[in-house]
Structure 1
Amino acid sequence: MHNIDSDSEDELPAGWEEKSTQDGNVYYVNTVSKKTQLTHPRTGRKKVIPFELPFGWSKSVDAEGKTIYIQRETGNRTYVDPRLAFAKEAKEHVHDFRQRFDGSSTAFQVLHGVDLSGKYALVTGSNSGIGYETAKSLARHGCSVLLANRNMEATQQAIKRIVKETNASEDDLKSIYLDLASLQSVRKCALAVKALFSDHLDMLILNAGVFGLPYTETEDNIETTCQVNHLSHMYFAILLEPLLKKGSRVIFVSSESHRFASLKNVFLLQNLALPRDSYSSMMAYNNSKFYNIVTAKVLSEEWRAKGVTVNAVHPGNMVFTNLSKSWWLYRLAFLLVRPFTKSLQQAAATTIYAATAGELDDVTGLYFNNCFYCEENFLARDQNLAHELFAISLKMIADRMNTDYIQRYINKYTYICNV
């Protein structure tokens, strides 16, 4: 059985076989000389495999006392350890991993053989589009998913569709009300989530977003795109910090649009939202996606010591979703490019990869596109700038909300940035 990562370099020379030990090590046997070794005979690298069997597999012993592996869904039997298909090179450095998937990969492909039973995830903006595909893909592999949305009727319909399409248990799919245009709603939702998941949250996927809105303000008197896409998600993540334990992953769904952000007057006005008199719906979106990335950077620093990883992702260019519903011209543009864009399953792949891939254990503070990390806008790599933007965000929240849950951050960052 070949490694799903395999390329020509990984192919074994003639006469060699790849085998496994029960504790998750890979070794190699030369069938001619009977020599065994722990390193790949071509690459010289060591590999490890998961301790547990892949999702859907079990093992037994045949009449001759040999271990046999059984695929429960198909009934297929094999003497080859199916874990070998998921062998990974042992990493010398946390960022030492190769690309396994690309822009054409689907979320289901990323999750092939992955068992998420016993895992808990929360996905915002999950009653349609990429968020729905993300929730569906996680549930299909045994994850308990909390769908956090504003439209509860649509969310219940989404849950029914997921159960129908995946045979997931309806008991593992729950809904919760979250209106990102209201900081008060964000706070109430976070308190309710902490009551539901009193122990831990394995995946926090901040996916919801708006695009192409005319200038409007929320009940908090903040421009809507800035608050929904950035400020409320940042506040939500901080409020849920007590649920994030070692191994938890936080994913901010950003966009390549962050590369076109403009920070003009942000520091002068101490306000991340574009003012009415110079408002551009596209620039508001670009800026909000930039803020997603720098927020992920700052929180990755804050939570690194406790073993919580925080990364940002780009799902795909012009993915056809209802994100474009705000203006007929955007709907037309998305319709015209639809034949050339990713499917929703492909668009959800990078989020799923960042949330579940084994090789990303302890990988934090990165930006992923097409299921692999890439360099973000150079401004997003400026730590001082990130801290300053984070401080302004905190001030915007503190001006409107009780600061009990964010006081630690306010004390640290407003002092650093003199906000």
Structure 2
Amino acid sequence: MVGVLNDSDSEDELPPGWEERATLDGNVYYVNHYTKGSQWTHPRTGRKKLVEGELPSGWEKCVGDDGKIVYVDHAHHTTTYTDPRLAFATEYRETSQPLRQRFDGSSSALSVLHGRDLRGKIALVTGANTGIGFETAKSLAFHGCTVIMACRNIKKGEEAIEKIKSQRGNVSCDILQLDLSSLHSVRNAAEKLKQKYRILHILILNAGVFGLPYSLTEDGYETTFQVNYLSHYYLTLLLEHPLRSCSNARVVVVASESHRFSSFQTPEDIHPMTLSPPEFKFWSMGAYNDSKLFNILFAQELARQWPTVSVFSCHPGNMVSSDLSRYSWMYRMLFAVVRPFTKSLQQAASTSIYCATVPELQGATGVYFNNCFRCEPSNAALNLSLASRLWNVSQEMIINIVKRDKLWYDLALK
């Protein structure tokens, strides 16, 4: 049910720094130019709008030279990116279920992509040889996308590609060696990708570990923290040029609803020693929760710093049956018990695919999704100061490793 709401013009007026825009399917969203964020609800009324019907007389919708939708007013010989129907948008309140939600928790990745042609698109998926990452890569490849499968184990990655090709022969898949427990490997992977591909349309940061006992990477950082967050942060920054060189590029950061249980709440909580704690302060579940909060904070800050790239974070599903629980017999048993009640791998991949491909998200950024629908993350995940602090400390931690590696290299040459 949709109820039309007639409010005064003063209540409907946007605050300074805000702009009203419309997606291709008519949903109105609001852009905050101060924070570089966006949202579906009006910042004053908290309600949503919809534009419907034909364009006003004399107007035409066209595709500009940059690939974006433009509106041409033939009567006045002007061109604008703003949908002229915004002036007549209908405001509505959802009284039962979300309006026009095309997909939900039962949708599969392939159903989200039904009818889509992704030929000419290039996507990189981390952790693509197994689990949700494999279904994500397969679904993109089935619809014509060139998929770069970033995997730690090259042999397993090649086997995954052969499996995809056995199901559909005419697909374009490439393999990229990427070990997220090594910043050196991340640098090498990024350089190899940039040598072969000039642009990158989609980056899906999917790989992760769960329930891992305490261990340190070769860089000296706690493994869950580095694999789930820090190396993905570094990889994304290294791929800035290919991502920002194409229009409408998207970055999808796979997070989790478990981010709500993170202990990090204020900027003062973030230091190198708290991000990568010593063993006596380590708890595997806590490390996982924290890393998933970092994923969302990273997505929020990246959306602010790269306004021309659409950045989303998402929750794939609860305790999905994959290789994620392989490091703990207790978690393997728990995942096996709940398997009949959780999503399939195809369903778990649907929200990543939704964020990476659906046209109605064009122009939106900095949004968190669950079950192919926008939802609000925790208050900590929306803390811009916390996100900025995490970004800066993460950068310092990477620079320290890069400087150390360069020193060792210089000493080896002497």
Q: TM-score, normalised by structure 1?
A: 0.73
Across the two proteins, how many residue pairs are aligned to each other? 325
Q: Does 1:178 align with 2:178?
A: yes
Residue 262 of structure 1 is matched in structure 2 by 263
The CA deviation at 1:99 is 1.8
The CA deviation at 1:391 is 1.1
Residue 166 of structure 2 is matched in structure 1 by 164
1:364 aligned counterpart, secondary structure: coil
Q: Does 1:369 align with 2:370?
A: yes
2:264 aligned counterpart, secondary structure: coil
Whether the 8 Å contact between 1:126 and 1:155 is mirrored in structure 2 is yes
* Within-5 A mapping of 1:73-88: none
Deviation string for 1:75-134 (max 9, x for gaps)?
xxxxxxxxxxxxxxx8789xx984210000000110011000010000000001000000
Residue 322 of structure 1 is matched in structure 2 by 323
Q: Does 1:331 align with 2:332?
A: yes
Q: Does 1:287 align with 2:294?
A: no
Residue 145 of structure 1 is matched in structure 2 by 147
Once residues 217 and 393 of structure 2 are traced to their aligned partners in structure 1, the CA distance between those partners, rounded to angstroms, is 18
Which segments of 5 or more consecutive residues in structure 1 lack a partner in the other structure? 1-6, 10-23, 27-42, 53-89, 404-419
Deviation string for 1:136-160 (max 9, x for gaps)?
0000000000000011111111001
TM-align CA RMSD: 2.9
Whether the 8 Å contact between 2:25 and 2:360 is mirrored in structure 1 is no
Pick aligned residue for 1:45 from 18, 29, 52: 52
1:399 aligned counterpart, secondary structure: helix
Cα 1:351/1:25, change in 2 over 3 Å: closer
Whether the 8 Å contact between 1:120 and 1:203 is mirrored in structure 2 is yes
Once residues 108 and 143 of structure 2 are traced to their aligned partners in structure 1, the CA distance between those partners, rounded to angstroms, is 14
Q: 139-148 or 158-167: which moved more?
A: 158-167
Whether the 8 Å contact between 1:272 and 1:392 is mirrored in structure 2 is no
**Structure with larger RCO (C-alpha < 8 A, sep 6+):** 2
Cα 1:254/1:301, change in 2 over 3 Å: same
Whether the 8 Å contact between 2:229 and 2:292 is mirrored in structure 1 is yes
> Residue type matched to 2:277 in 1?
L
* Within-5 A mapping of 1:238-253: 238-245=237-244, 246-253=247-254
Whether the 8 Å contact between 1:271 and 1:396 is mirrored in structure 2 is no
Cα 1:269/1:201, change in 2 over 3 Å: closer
Cα 1:130/1:269, change in 2 over 3 Å: closer
Once residues 51 and 276 of structure 2 are traced to their aligned partners in structure 1, the CA distance between those partners, rounded to angstroms, is 53
Once residues 349 and 297 of structure 1 are traced to their aligned partners in structure 2, the CA distance between those partners, rounded to angstroms, is 21
The CA deviation at 1:269 is 5.4
The CA deviation at 1:179 is 0.3
> Residue type matched to 1:186 in 2?
V
Identity %: 49
Q: 274-283 or 352-361: which moved more?
A: 274-283
Once residues 253 and 376 of structure 2 are traced to their aligned partners in structure 1, the CA distance between those partners, rounded to angstroms, is 16
Residue 79 of structure 2 is matched in structure 1 by none
The CA deviation at 1:25 is 11
Residue 355 of structure 2 is matched in structure 1 by 354
Cα 1:222/1:25, change in 2 over 3 Å: closer
Residue 85 of structure 1 is matched in structure 2 by none
2:374 aligned counterpart, secondary structure: strand
Once residues 252 and 356 of structure 2 are traced to their aligned partners in structure 1, the CA distance between those partners, rounded to angstroms, is 7
Once residues 112 and 52 of structure 2 are traced to their aligned partners in structure 1, the CA distance between those partners, rounded to angstroms, is 24
Once residues 310 and 385 of structure 1 are traced to their aligned partners in structure 2, the CA distance between those partners, rounded to angstroms, is 18
The CA deviation at 1:401 is 1.1
Which segments of 5 or more consecutive residues in structure 2 lack a partner in the other structure? 4-23, 27-49, 56-60, 64-84, 93-98, 405-414
Cα 1:337/1:91, change in 2 over 3 Å: farther
1:244 aligned counterpart, secondary structure: helix
* Within-5 A mapping of 1:112-131: 112-131=114-133
Once residues 210 and 190 of structure 1 are traced to their aligned partners in structure 2, the CA distance between those partners, rounded to angstroms, is 21
> Residue type matched to 1:139 in 2?
A
> Residue type matched to 2:53 in 1?
K
Once residues 312 and 352 of structure 1 are traced to their aligned partners in structure 2, the CA distance between those partners, rounded to angstroms, is 11
The CA deviation at 1:252 is 0.5
Q: TM-score, normalised by structure 2?
A: 0.73
Q: Does 1:196 align with 2:203?
A: no
> Residue type matched to 1:130 in 2?
I
Q: 357-366 or 257-266: which moved more?
A: 257-266
Larger Rg: 1
The CA deviation at 1:328 is 0.4
Once residues 170 and 337 of structure 2 are traced to their aligned partners in structure 1, the CA distance between those partners, rounded to angstroms, is 35
Q: Does 1:345 align with 2:346?
A: yes
The CA deviation at 1:273 is 1.9
Cα 1:25/1:47, change in 2 over 3 Å: farther
1:204 aligned counterpart, secondary structure: strand
> Residue type matched to 1:332 in 2?
M
Cα 1:51/1:327, change in 2 over 3 Å: farther
1:156 aligned counterpart, secondary structure: helix
